[in-house]
A = this chain, B = another copy of it.
Amino acid sequence: MIRVNKGFLDYVTTLKNADKHSAITEQEAGVGKKIVTEKTTVFSVYVVKEGLAKCYLTEDTGNDFIQEFFGAGEVFGELEMFTQDFSFCTIEALTPIKYYKIPKKVFLALIENDAKFNSLVLRLMASKIRYTALRHSYHQSHALEVNLKRLLKEFPDLLQKISKKDIANYLGVTLRSLNRAIKILG
């Protein structure tokens, strides 16, 4: 749901601070700003420093499918450095956001020369695979009500932080269905 990765954020912060002229820069974006756009070439890897973003795909049906919500330390754009593909999702700020930007060349050099960095990236990608698999499996085999209850247990202030439409898109249902489920849960 809302993913974070303190360890990686700390490491990148250290890297940046170690060099006054670091190629790693800090950037900001306002609500609604798309930091990465679907089907577009990606030139950098990004790390959320603070704030919240959503990672989603828009289908040909017009539906948005929210992959994940990214909080502090979450990384995006890294896949495209390895697969040479266009971005497969859009990253959009849900709150004002601060993030680090690591140019492609710098990122790939770190992968090659900094074993610790390389290892953190491997771990982070492994986590994404695991987490996503567990989530989709759970979603598919449980009723909407159960899924919602589970989310609310982990993030009690969910409905305050994230719009219902976004929650519905994350759960893969319509807003109408989500409203029904909310009503039933009381």
Contacts and interface: CB of A to CB of B under 8 A. Distances in A.
B141 A88 contact: no
A142 interface: yes
Contact of A133 (B81, B83, B89): B89
A109 B29 CA distance: 41
A102 to B, nearest CB: 15
A54 to B, nearest CB: 13
A61 interface: yes
A85 interface: yes
A123 B122 CA distance: 10
Interface of A is mostly: helix
Interface stretch (A9-17, A19-27, A111-119, A154-162): A111-119
B122 A88 contact: no
Contacts of A115: 112
A137 B65 CA distance: 6
Interface in A121-165: 121-123, 125-130, 132-134, 136-138, 140-142
Contact of A134 (B88, B134, B172): B88
Contacts of A121: 122
Given A57-B134, A61-B142, 20 more contacts: A57-B133, A57-B137, A59-B137, A59-B141, A59-B142, A65-B137, A67-B133, A81-B126, A82-B122, A83-B130, A89-B133, A121-B122, A122-B122, A122-B125, A125-B125, A125-B129, A128-B129, A129-B132, A132-B132, A132-B133
